[in-house]
Structure formats: structure tokens, C-alpha cells
């Protein structure tokens, strides 16, 4: 993506890139393309968009100002296990790519997801509700919302672009 954007920009084309969600939120190609275009002396600008978290707040009725918000890319969270505050809402983005480095998710994601849920049980308790959320990409089409308990032995399979959300009681 970055190469295509930069190449066309250097050819003198007017380039407009539209990305799913906010172009600067969990979207490394946008930042890198702008950096490279500017390094070549050309003008590049990022305009704000609506992120997956903005949609999640609206669809689930979550106010991060009430309890706080912890948001991590799921693979980073899974690998580094940063400290958590179980009194704050947790959002793990791109949980359907858990442990992957990009491209298409492999079958290994479905094996990692239960390990992530087990890790989260230690912070939030088995009775806590978790939500797999995927914002709608089209007007008039509802977002995907799958609720489950952290104690559930049969876990849903996260979609590639899903966000896992846990809200405090």
C-alpha cells in the first residue's frame, strides 16, 4: 500500500487514500506513506475519520469518560501483557489477527484466542462479559456484536477486524 501511494505521488498524481476507520488509528500504512511523501518534498495531509472505537462507543453505549479506556492492538497486548486496570474499559483491536504479522489470518488465531480469554479471566473474573465487536462498513447495515462470558468454554471465533471489549461492572 505504501509503495503504491508513494509511487503515484512521485509520478505527480493527485492521490487520495481512504482507509477503513480513522486513517491514523491502527493504520501504519497511512503514517508511513505520508512520511515518505513528505521526505520527497511533496505535500501530504491526513484528514480525520471515524474510528472503530468511535463506532464501538456509539453502538455499545460506552462512555470512556466514565471509567477510562485501555486500548491495545491485540497482538501487542497478547505478547507484552501490559498492566491492566480492571476498573477501566478494555478494547483489544484486531483480535481476529491475534499473533499474526499481517496478511491473512492463519488457523493459529483460533488456538490463541482461548489463551487470550484465559489471560483476561485473571484480571476481570470468570463472570465478566466480553464483547466481540465489528463496526459496520456500510450504511444501513448493523454492526456485528457477539456477547459472551469469559467463563464460557465454547468461545466465538473473532472476525478478522473484530475488537474485543470488556467493560467494568
**Rounded to the nearest 5°, which phi and psi values hold at 119?**
-60, -40
Residues 12 and 71 in one domain: no
- Answer yes or no: is 97 within a domain: yes
What CATH number did the domain enclosing 89 receive? 3.30.950.10
In total, how many domains does the chain have?
2
Residue 149, strand partner residues: 129
Residues 127 and 56 in one domain: yes
107 DSSP assignment: T
Residues 67 and 133 in one domain: yes
Residues 74 and 151 in one domain: yes
Residues 92 and 128 in one domain: yes
Alpha carbon separation from 168 to 29, 46, 61, 122, 144 (Å, rounded): 33, 34, 13, 14, 21
User: Three-class SS of residue 164?
Assistant: strand
pLDDT (0 to 100) of residue 26: 67
Residues 25 and 66 in one domain: no
pLDDT (0 to 100) of residue 103: 78
Residue ranges for the chain with pLDDT beneath 70: 20-21, 26
Residues 21 and 60 in one domain: no
pLDDT (0 to 100) of residue 29: 85
pTM of the entire structure? 0.81
Residues 89 and 20 in one domain: no
Q: Which residues contact 118 (CB under 8 A, 6 or more apart)?
A: none
Amino acid at each position: 500500500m505504501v509503495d503504491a501511494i508513494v509511487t503515484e505521488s512521485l509520478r505527480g498524481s493527485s492521490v487520495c487514500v481512504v482507509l477503513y476507520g480513522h486513517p491514523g488509528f491502527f493504520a501504519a500504512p497511512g503514517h508511513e506513506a505520508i512520511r515518505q511523501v513528505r521526505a520527497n518534498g511533496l505535500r501530504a495531509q491526513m484528514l480525520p475519520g471515524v474510528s472503530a472505537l468511535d463506532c464501538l462507543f456509539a453502538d455499545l453505549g460506552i462512555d470512556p469518560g466514565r471509567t477510562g479506556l485501555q486500548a491495545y492492538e491485540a497482538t501487542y497486548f497478547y505478547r507484552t501483557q501490559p498492566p491492566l486496570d480492571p476498573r477501566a474499559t478494555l478494547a483489544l483491536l484486531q483480535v481476529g489477527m491475534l499473533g499474526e504479522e499481517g496478511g491473512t489470518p492463519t488457523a493459529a488465531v483460533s488456538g490463541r484466542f482461548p489463551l487470550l480469554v484465559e489471560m483476561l479471566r485473571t484480571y476481570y473474573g470468570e463472570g465478566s462479559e466480553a464483547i466481540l465487536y465489528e463496526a459496520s462498513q456500510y450504511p444501513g447495515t448493523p454492526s456485528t456484536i457477539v456477547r459472551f462470558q469469559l467463563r464460557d468454554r465454547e468461545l466465538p471465533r473473532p472476525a478478522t477486524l473484530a475488537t474485543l471489549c470488556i467493560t467494568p461492572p
